[in-house]
């Protein structure tokens, strides 16, 4: 079989098992088993086939079998595993993918032997580190450190590339995670390795180990990483985990733990928040940073004293004029916006650090999941052994994820000593302020756990978006909405009313309207809505999704409870307008106007509606009314001019187009309409000159001008401009341009 044929058979067999088309699955897997030539796999296939044949025979004979569901479930699970084993067996000898490369590399090395070698090297490292400082050999220490880290990577690779995980290996991993025989960062790596393997092939033993690790370890870092990884696995493999009794049973046992539901909610919210990361990245990169950089030269000039020395920014409070200038420049607002996003847990630094993932450090797959610790060789070598105090400051930086902390330290290594010292001083000063704030606050275990979750989800996001070989794994972070409510084993927790409202609001705020609708309507079906405004939010979400009928349904539900809400009435009118309900549109806009009599935008909108309904005289009166209400923006001038033209009041139309030309900045459309008025007055030469000005604003695009001119053909014909003239005028306008 060719590689393509193997992949096709594997994929089709998976689809057949998913759809309970068991006979077809057997046929497809049989061809794969034969291709492997492995007797053990063939024996397993025959055993499963016999069980399935007997089950069908008993069914045909009408035998009642209470075990039938369980038997079928076990057959399906075994077929999934057999299918995966066949695929791996066929791909492993020659595939360049990192998963198969690691399996080939570690095929003859046991997990327990790696653990034992690693522990021995830890002891050796500890011995050289306990030598008195004046007698220490820094090169020997660094060499030992490298050996330890190489074994950590080897341990990680063995765990994630093992498939299926054996009972012995599972026992070894339990001892490693549950005890204190390994450092915390290594235990965290083992958890990540279990997860990474699951992002390649589903292995129930690995998932069960992740769930068990939540209770095996007393370390929050290990617990929360394990639970996050387990939840993301449940999301990626819903078809296999939703029906697993072992998974359901393990999760039910976790419900007894007080922190469990809060941790699940924290992970659920942060995964949902990660959906907006690309938008935040673009916002920071294309808006926040450019705007600050744009005014940077002005900032420097403003902050120089009479001797052209830069004033310390910490002295800015001494001069209110500087602060006022910063406020007026918009920098203060941008910084406040940035800080608000930080505080709510948004991933604001990905734009800054995404280009710093090209260091050799990040070519090692396990390093993407490594908790930051100052003693790592990459940190020591870049900062120098005498600068570990700086690394400890970085370790406590509250808004940087582990991956970005390594990036930061690696980039510091490339800076001149003077700049590094300056940054060190600034960081140490910030750390001192943070420490002082921490000492004045009461310990908050929940906040600490949420911080761990947020940091780890950001680490995962960077791996699945930036790692050079990320396409070899399930793209879990591309899963729309990362909707944990669809995972049945966790549904008792993830479909809680409180978290659904929280998620719905988060999606709504970030304009993910389909997801907001799903959360809010699920909340409604639970009859646990405590805020009537959710009806409005659902309506608004449907409206923005283009589903005006459903939007009306929810706006009107809110209207039954609050009939005088002007915002709601106005949006009902907008939905009727989108659906072409002319009478209802005007009725609701009039009601909204009565509730908000001084709203200029609303008055203008009613004019637009009247104009759409060919009630031009009434529309004109509405525009005059709006113009009297507004003395500066003159938003009514254009519609007044156009209505006057439609009513053949050319003098008034001309007057308003001249006002626009004099007191405003005319657009190409304004000049086109102005030309129409002149043309209908018989001032053809002036009309053509004005049309040419319009063409100029269209950057000389004659095709665009002709299209715009033809768009008004009916109005021009009604005002006496013949079809012949309409055909000639665009040529006259474009001929000399």
Task: Give the Cα separation of 223 and 188 in Å (integer).
Answer: 9
Task: Give the Cα separation of 648 and 627 in Å (integer).
Answer: 21
**How many CA atoms does the CB half-sphere of 657 hold within 13 Å?**
25
Tens-place pLDDT, residues 112-145: 999 999 999 999 998 887 777 666 777 888 899 9
Question: What secondary structure, in 3-state letters, does 64-107 show?
Answer: CCCCHHHHHHHHHHHHHHHHHHHHHHHHCCCCCCHHHHHHHHHC
pLDDT band at 703 (very low <50, low <70, confident <90, very high): very high
More confident residue, 498 or 186: 186
pTM of the predicted structure, to 2 decimals: 0.84
**How big is the chain by its Cα radius of gyration, in Å?**
34
Distances (CA, A) of 461 to 232, 265, 398: 12, 18, 18
* pLDDT value of residue 658: 94
* pLDDT value of residue 329: 58
Tens-place pLDDT, residues 169-206: 999 999 999 988 999 999 999 999 999 999 999 999 99
Task: Give the Cα separation of 499 and 497 in Å (integer).
Answer: 6
The answer to whether 198 touches 236, Cβ cutoff 8 Å, is yes
- Per-residue pLDDT for 287 more than 80? no
Q: Return all residues near 296 (Cβ < 8 A) that are at least 6 apart.
A: none
Tens-place pLDDT, residues 367-385: 999 999 999 999 988 877 6
Whether residue 324 is contained in a domain is answered as yes
Residue 623: CB atoms within 10 A of its CB come to 28
The answer to whether 670 touches 660, Cβ cutoff 8 Å, is yes
Task: Give the Cα separation of 659 and 7 in Å (integer).
Answer: 70
pLDDT band at 297 (very low <50, low <70, confident <90, very high): low
Tens-place pLDDT, residues 516-545: 999 999 999 888 777 899 999 999 999 999
* pLDDT value of residue 536: 95
Tens-place pLDDT, residues 580-606: 999 999 999 999 999 999 899 999 999
Whether residue 612 is contained in a domain is answered as no
Angle between helices 533-544 and 497-509 (to 10 degrees): 40
Question: Would you say how long the chain is, in residues?
Answer: 737
The single-letter DSSP state of residue 243 is T
For residues 221-235, average pLDDT: 97
Whether residue 572 is contained in a domain is answered as no
Whether residue 160 is contained in a domain is answered as no
The single-letter DSSP state of residue 562 is -
Task: Give the Cα separation of 43 and 37 in Å (integer).
Answer: 11
- Per-residue pLDDT for 566 more than 90? yes
- Per-residue pLDDT for 318 more than 50? no
* pLDDT value of residue 481: 61
Q: CB-based burial of residue 411 (10 Å sphere; 0-12 exposed, 13-18 middle, 19+ buried)?
A: middle
Q: In the listed set 91, 118, 147, which residue is the last one of a domain according to the structure?
A: 91
More confident residue, 271 or 133: 271
- Tell me if residue 304 falls in helix, strand or coil: strand
Task: Give the Cα separation of 725 and 521 in Å (integer).
Answer: 58
Whether residue 549 is contained in a domain is answered as no
- Per-residue pLDDT for 299 more than 60? no
- Tell me if residue 218 falls in helix, strand or coil: coil
- Per-residue pLDDT for 301 more than 90? no
* pLDDT value of residue 170: 97
pLDDT band at 340 (very low <50, low <70, confident <90, very high): confident
* Mean of all residue pLDDT scores within the chain: 88
Whether residue 275 is contained in a domain is answered as no
Distances (CA, A) of 155 to 97, 159, 369, 430, 607: 19, 6, 13, 37, 72
- Structural domain range at position 19: 3-91
* pLDDT value of residue 312: 44
Residue 181: CB atoms within 10 A of its CB come to 14
The answer to whether 275 touches 512, Cβ cutoff 8 Å, is yes
Task: Give the Cα separation of 385 and 407 in Å (integer).
Answer: 18
* pLDDT value of residue 517: 95
Task: Give the Cα separation of 313 and 332 in Å (integer).
Answer: 13
Residues of the chain with pLDDT > 70: what percent?
87
Distances (CA, A) of 483 to 285, 503, 515: 28, 10, 8
The answer to whether 142 touches 381, Cβ cutoff 8 Å, is yes
Task: Give the Cα separation of 378 and 407 in Å (integer).
Answer: 10
- Tell me if residue 310 falls in helix, strand or coil: strand
**How many CA atoms does the CB half-sphere of 374 hold within 13 Å?**
15
With vertex at residue 502, the alpha carbon angle to CA 507 and CA 559, rounded to the nearest 5 degrees, is 80
Q: Return all residues near 327 (Cβ < 8 A) that are at least 6 apart.
A: 333
Q: Return all residues near 624 (Cβ < 8 A) that are at least 6 apart.
A: 636, 640
- Per-residue pLDDT for 308 more than 50? no
With vertex at residue 485, the alpha carbon angle to CA 479 and CA 489, rounded to the nearest 5 degrees, is 110
* pLDDT value of residue 281: 81
- Per-residue pLDDT for 18 more than 60? yes
More confident residue, 735 or 613: 613
Q: Which contiguous run of DSSP H or E holds residue 108?
A: none
- N- to C-terminal Cα distance for the chain? 67
Tens-place pLDDT, residues 385-441: 666 777 888 888 878 899 999 998 898 876 666 666 666 666 666 556 555 555 555
Distances (CA, A) of 518 to 102, 481, 503, 571, 626: 42, 10, 10, 21, 40
Query: Which residues lie across from 304 on neighbouring strands?
Result: 310
Tens-place pLDDT, residues 40-80: 999 999 999 999 999 999 888 988 888 899 999 999 999 99
Whether residue 672 is contained in a domain is answered as yes
No. of H helices and E strands in the chain? 41, 0
For residues 86-106, average pLDDT: 96
Task: Give the Cα separation of 138 and 71 in Å (integer).
Answer: 62
Cis-peptide into 164, omega within 30 deg: yes
Distances (CA, A) of 280 to 338, 419, 483, 717: 10, 29, 20, 51
**Looking at 531-651, which runs of residues are DSSP E strands?**
none
Whether residue 138 is contained in a domain is answered as no
Q: In the listed set 466, 487, 510, which residue is the last one of a domain according to the structure?
A: 466
Tens-place pLDDT, residues 626-664: 999 877 678 999 999 999 999 999 999 999 999 999 988
pLDDT band at 292 (very low <50, low <70, confident <90, very high): low
* pLDDT value of residue 163: 97
Distances (CA, A) of 68 to 13, 54, 206: 22, 11, 27
* pLDDT value of residue 558: 95
* pLDDT value of residue 604: 94
Task: Give the Cα separation of 718 and 537 in Å (integer).
Answer: 45
Q: In the listed set 466, 501, 527, which residue is the last one of a domain according to the structure?
A: 466
Structurally, the chain folds into a number of domains equal to: 3
């Amino acid at each position: 079989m060719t590689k393509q044929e193997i992949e096709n058979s594997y994929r089709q067999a998976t689809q057949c098992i998913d759809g309970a088309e068991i006979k077809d699955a057997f046929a497809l897997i049989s061809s794969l088993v034969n291709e492997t030539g492995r007797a053990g796999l063939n024996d397993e296939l025959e055993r499963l086939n016999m069980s399935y044949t007997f089950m069908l025979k008993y069914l045909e004979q009408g035998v009642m079998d209470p075990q039938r569901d369980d038997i079928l479930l076990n057959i399906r699970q075994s077929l999934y595993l057999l299918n995966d084993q066949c695929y791996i067996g066929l791909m492993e000898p020659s595939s360049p993918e990192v998963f198969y490369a690691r399996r080939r590399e570690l095929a003859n090395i046991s997990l327990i032997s790696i653990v034992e070698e690693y522990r021995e090297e830890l002891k050796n490292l500890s011995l050289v580190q306990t030598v008195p400082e004046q007698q220490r050999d820094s090169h020997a220490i660094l060499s030992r450190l490298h050996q330890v880290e190489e074994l950590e990577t080897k341990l990680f690779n063995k765990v994630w590339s093992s498939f299926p995980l054996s009972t012995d290996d599972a026992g070894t991993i339990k001892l490693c995670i549950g005890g204190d025989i390994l450092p915390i960062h290594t235990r965290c790596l083992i958890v990540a390795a279990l997860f990474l393997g699951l992002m390649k092939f589903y292995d129930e033993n690995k998932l069960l180990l992740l769930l068990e690790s939540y209770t095996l370890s007393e370390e929050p870092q290990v617990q929360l990483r394990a639970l996050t990884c387990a939840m993301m696995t449940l999301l990626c493999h819903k078809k296999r985990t939703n029906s697993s009794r072992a998974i359901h049973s393990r999760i039910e046992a976790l419900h007894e733990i007080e922190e469990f539901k809060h941790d699940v909610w924290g992970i659920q919210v942060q995964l949902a928040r990660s959906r907006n990361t690309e938008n935040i990245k673009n916002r920071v990169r294309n808006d926040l940073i450019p705007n600050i950089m744009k005014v940077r030269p002005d900032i420097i000039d403003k902050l120089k004293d009479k001797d052209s020395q830069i004033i310390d920014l910490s002295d800015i409070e001494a001069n209110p004029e500087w602060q006022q200038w910063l406020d007026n420049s918009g920098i203060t607002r941008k910084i406040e916006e940035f800080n608000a996003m930080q505080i709510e847990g948004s991933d604001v630094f990905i734009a800054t650090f995404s280009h710093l993932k090209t260091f050799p450090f990040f070519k090692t797959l396990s390093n993407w999941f490594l908790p930051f610790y100052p003693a790592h060789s990459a940190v020591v070598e870049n900062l120098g052994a005498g600068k570990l105090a700086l690394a400890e400051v970085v370790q406590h930086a509250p808004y940087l994820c582990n991956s970005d902390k390594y990036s930061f330290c690696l980039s510091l290594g490339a800076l001149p000593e003077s700049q590094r010292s300056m940054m060190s001083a600034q960081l140490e000063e910030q750390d001192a302020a943070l420490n002082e704030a921490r000492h004045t606050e009461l310990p908050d275990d929940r906040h600490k756990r949420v911080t761990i979750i947020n940091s780890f989800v950001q680490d995962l996001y960077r791996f699945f978006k930036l790692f050079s070989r990320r396409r070899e794994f399930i793209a879990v972070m591309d899963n729309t909405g990362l909707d944990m409510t669809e995972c049945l084993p966790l549904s008792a927790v993830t479909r809680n009313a409180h978290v659904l409202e929280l998620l719905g609001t988060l999606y709504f705020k970030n304009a993910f309207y389909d997801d907001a609708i799903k959360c809010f309507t699920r909340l409604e079906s639970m009859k646990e809505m405590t805020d009537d405004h959710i009806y409005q939010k659902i309506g608004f979400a449907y409206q923005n999704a283009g589903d005006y009928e459903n939007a009306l349904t929810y706006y009107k539900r809110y209207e039954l409870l609050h009939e005088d809400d002007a915002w709601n009435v106005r949006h009902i009118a907008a939905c009727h307008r989108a659906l072409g309900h002319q009478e209802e549109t005007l009725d609701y806009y009039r009601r909204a106007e009565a509730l908000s009599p001084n709203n200029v935008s609303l008055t203008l909108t009613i004019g637009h509606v009247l104009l759409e309904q060919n009630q031009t005289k009434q529309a004109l009166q509405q525009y005059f009314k709006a113009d009297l209400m507004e003395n500066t923006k003159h938003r009514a001038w254009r519609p007044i001019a156009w209505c006057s033209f439609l009513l053949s009041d050319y003098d008034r139309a001309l007057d308003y187009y001249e006002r626009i030309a004099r007191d405003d900045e005319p657009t190409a459309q304004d000049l086109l309409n102005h030309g129409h008025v002149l043309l209908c007055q018989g001032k053809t030469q002036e009309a053509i000159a004005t049309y040419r000005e319009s063409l100029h604003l269209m950057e000389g695009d004659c095709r665009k001008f002709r299209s715009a001119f033809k768009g008004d053909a009916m109005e021009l014909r009604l005002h006496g401009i013949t079809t012949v003239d309409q055909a000639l005028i665009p040529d006259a306008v474009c001929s000399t341009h």
